[in-house]
Amino acid sequence: MYHTWMRYFTPAPVHHRLGLVCLGVGLQYGELPVVGPRTLDHHVAVVISAGSGWYEKADGHRLTVTAPALIWLVPGIPHHYGPDSGWDECFVAFTGAAAATYTELGCIEPDRPVVPLADAEGARATVARIARAARRGNPLLEVETAAAVHELLVVLRRARADTTPDGHQVLQALARDAFKPLSVAEHAARHGMTPAELRTAVRRGAGCSPKDYLLGIRLGRAKELLAATELPVAAVARRVGYDDPAYFSRLFTRRVGMAPVRFRAQQARTVPGGRSDRIPDPDDPPMIERPPAPGRPAV
């Protein structure tokens, strides 16, 4: 005996330009029937929140599925799976050009069809939001569900059970040291790793190289300093780890699409109150206090 609830959608061409579109959502539990063997032309994320079962690859090799777990069904790859004696699952079917980018970033793993999760609650909450948006007559159904698919991929990436020190802790340490003028090899040595091991850990954790990971943090901080202070560009460069301001300017221009001075001039027209001589602390943002409601004294 099993229970199932499903909705399927047919997004219009304009919705496909959102990058990802939701094709269907389902919530099921109990002694569900075996799925496949079959091959799909779209992606499906199947989240198992209770129970156990199996997934059989095209070569006949079976993988054990133990909740909480994620089963990836990807286009063109045959799959066959089912519960041992029942499980709780929810699924989201989706497609779109952005799926290739999410795959490149490691959020979708075609070569790893069964992914252990630390927790399925976040994913189930996102799927539940898709299910609520699936009510009949919702004029924003395709937009709401498309946005939720993007969110689901991030939630599932964060929920992976294998985010060990080879992932998040290394990334956190790199972020702390991002503004020090260290090479990738020097960063690796600080963690007792070879450059190749560091590249593997960062690629797995952030979907990019250590150089790009550090560059994103440095340029983000540089933008904050350019927009909110009157520090000279050379001083901004030094604060984010570049002793050569000319090199910093070339790098900033290539990645941002405009020179630092132009970025500052552009942001000065949009920041209320102009710039400040205080250097903002990204870890301690100022609190914006709401004015008291009419008739209420200020606290």
pLDDT bracket for residue 264 (50, 70, 90)? very high
Residue 287: predicted pLDDT: 57
Name the token pair of 183. 């090479």
Name the token pair of 117. 């999760």
State the span(s) of the chain assigned CATH 2.60.120.280: 2-158
Q: What is the pTM of this model?
A: 0.75
Please give the full DSSP string across 94-111, using - where no structure is assigned.
Answer: EE-THHHHHHHTTSS-TT
Residue 105: predicted pLDDT: 87
Contacts of 159 by beta carbon, 8 Å cutoff, 6+ apart: 68, 70, 117, 118, 119, 120, 122, 123
Residue 288: predicted pLDDT: 53
Q: Name, of 250-254, 275-279, 280-284, the range with top average pLDDT.
A: 250-254
Q: Residue 271: pLDDT above 50?
A: no
State the span(s) of the chain assigned CATH 1.10.10.60: 167-268
Residue 299: predicted pLDDT: 45
Which CATH code for domain 2-158? 2.60.120.280
Residue 289: predicted pLDDT: 58
Residue 260: predicted pLDDT: 95
End-to-end CA distance of the chain: 59
User: How many CA atoms, within 13 angstroms, populate the side-chain half-sphere of residue 136?
Assistant: 0
Q: In percent, how much of the chain has pLDDT > 70?
A: 88
pLDDT tens digits for range 197-249? 888 888 877 778 899 989 999 999 999 999 988 899 999 999 999 999 999 99
Residue with tokens 């061409």: 13
User: Class for domain 167-268, per CATH?
Assistant: mainly alpha
Residue 202: predicted pLDDT: 85
State how far the Cα of 240 lies from the Cα of 219, in Å rounded to an integer: 8
The chain-wide mean pLDDT, for the chain, equals: 88
Name the token pair of 141. 């159904």
pLDDT tens digits for range 170-209? 888 888 889 988 888 989 898 888 999 888 888 877 778 8
pLDDT tens digits for range 42-72? 999 999 999 999 999 988 899 999 999 999 9
